[in-house]
Amino acid sequence: MADAQGGRLTTHVLDTATGKPATGLKIALYRVSGNSHRKLKDVVTNADGRCDAPLLAGKEFRTGQYELIFFAGDYFRALGLKLPDPMFLDNVPIRFGMAGETHYHVPLLISPYGYSTYRGS
């Protein structure tokens, strides 16, 4: 069942170590099919930790398996944090499925030593 705006994919990143949105965090979106990954786009979060537009919407939106890779290590290094080498968390992949034409929101709560995600609204 589609919602009023059709299928779309959004994300939001919050830095739980600082209690603020993760501004300037790079994210890569891939479509996954078996062992194949096809990169669809790179985006960077804005001052609110969100992307300026949906990652997928309208004709770009298709059901299937996807993966978001959050470049958390680059984000934390840019903050000037003193972190071990190698970092505990660097690139954080989240693989998920979209089974219908509706709104899928995949938020990330991140710190240098842990993360969580869920299907948001």
pLDDT, one tens digit per residue, over 46-56 is: 999 999 999 99
**In 3D, which of 24, 25, 31 has the Cα closest to residue 92?**
25
- H/E element holding 70? strand 64-71
3-state secondary structure of 78: helix
**For residue 121, what pLDDT is reported?**
85
Residue 90 has pLDDT above 50, yes or no: yes
- Grade residue 5 by pLDDT with cuts at 50, 70 and 90: low
In the chain, what are the domain boundaries? 8-117
Would you state the pLDDT for residue 3? 46
Superfamily of domain 8-117 in the CATH hierarchy:
Transthyretin/hydroxyisourate hydrolase domain (2.60.40.180)
Q: Say if residue 116's pLDDT is above 60.
A: yes
Calculate the average pLDDT of the chain: 94
